[in-house]
Amino acid sequence: MPNILVIGATSAIANACMRRWADPGVRFYLVGRSAEKLDQVGFDLAARGASVHQYILDLNELDGVADMLDACCASIGWIDIALIAHGTLPDQAACQQDPKVAVQEFTNNGLSVIALLTDLANRMEAQKSGCIAVISSVAGDRGRPSNYLYGAAKGAVTTFCSGLRARLSKSGVHVLTIKPGFVDTPMTQRLTLPKLLIATPEKVGRDIVRAVEKRRDTLYTPGFWRLIMLITIHIPGSIFKRLGL
């Protein structure tokens, strides 16, 4: 039965994955910044028979990452699956007005993930097994006026994971880059999105669990986003500028 580390364990998408993984014998190590929300998630998984450990950390506190990973390894011993799920959807207009907001959001969605992966990768490389599954976004495939700060951070994560995958493949560690489209979670509550394109966290969670099992490199979820993004990245720049996406 696997040992599973979940970073940003209070995320709706992470929860959908964890409910699928939860079974007697499975050991979860949950990391999040809200003790109250972590407790709720932990109770749910424990009720399904899993064993649950919790650690409170704001992932922007980069100095806290090594201690958290030490504590994780001391508690559950080794990591079969690490799911990296934390993130925020920035207010693009605020990012354009205030460099501090832009840097803060880039740190939360990009640099904090890269810092975490840098330490985690070395531990998994020494372990010579396991899967690191990282939630990036289709937004990282091409910058759009409406969310290019978020897209730039996710694009950095996607590129980092591509290199990390090639490096860790030599040690038997698998890296999965997850690119969801629009998902109905607390993150997107304030947005008006095209109904036909919105997926449930359950659908996305099912796709992620299957992609981890099949050791896929990149997952677009739902799958139709692969085609949408293929078209999007090939739109000539002169036309893309005028589309106002």
How would you classify residue 85: left for phi > 0, otherwise alpha for psi between -120 and 50, otherwise beta?
alpha
Q: Using CB under 6 A as the criterion, what x/- string covers residues 130-169 for binding ligand NAP?
A: -----x-x--------------------------------
- Half-sphere exposure (CA, 13 Å, Cβ side) for 151? 15
Q: Using CB under 6 A as the criterion, what x/- string covers residues 108-137 for binding ligand NAP?
A: x--------------------------x-x
Scanning 58-66, 73-81, 122-130, 224-232 for contacts with ligand NAP by CB under 6 A, the matching segment is 58-66
According to DSSP, the residues that pair with 180 across neighbouring strands are 221
Residue 90 binds to ligand NAP (criterion: CB under 6 A): no
Distance (Å, rounded) from C-alpha 117 to C-alpha 72?
A: 14
CB of 135 to ligand NAP, least distance (A): 4
Residue 59 binds to ligand NAP (criterion: CB under 6 A): yes
Residue 56 φ then ψ, to 5°: -95, 125
Going by the DSSP 8-state scheme, the letter that residue 109 receives in this structure is I
Distance (Å, rounded) from C-alpha 85 to C-alpha 178?
A: 10
Helix, strand, coil shares of the chain as percentages rounded to 5?
A: 55, 15, 30
Among 5, 12, 52, 82, binds ligand NAP (CB under 6 A): 12
Residue 58 binds to ligand NAP (criterion: CB under 6 A): yes
Q: Using an 8 Å Cβ cutoff, are 59 and 116 in contact?
A: yes
Among 3, 6, 10, 18, binds ligand NAP (CB under 6 A): 10
Q: Beta strands 218-221 and 174-180: pairing type?
A: parallel
Residue 222 binds to ligand NAP (criterion: CB under 6 A): no
Residue 85 binds to ligand NAP (criterion: CB under 6 A): yes
Among 183, 208, 219, 229, binds ligand NAP (CB under 6 A): 183
Binding site for ligand NAP (CB under 6 A): 8, 10-13, 32-34, 37, 58-60, 85-88, 108, 135, 137, 180, 182-183, 185-188
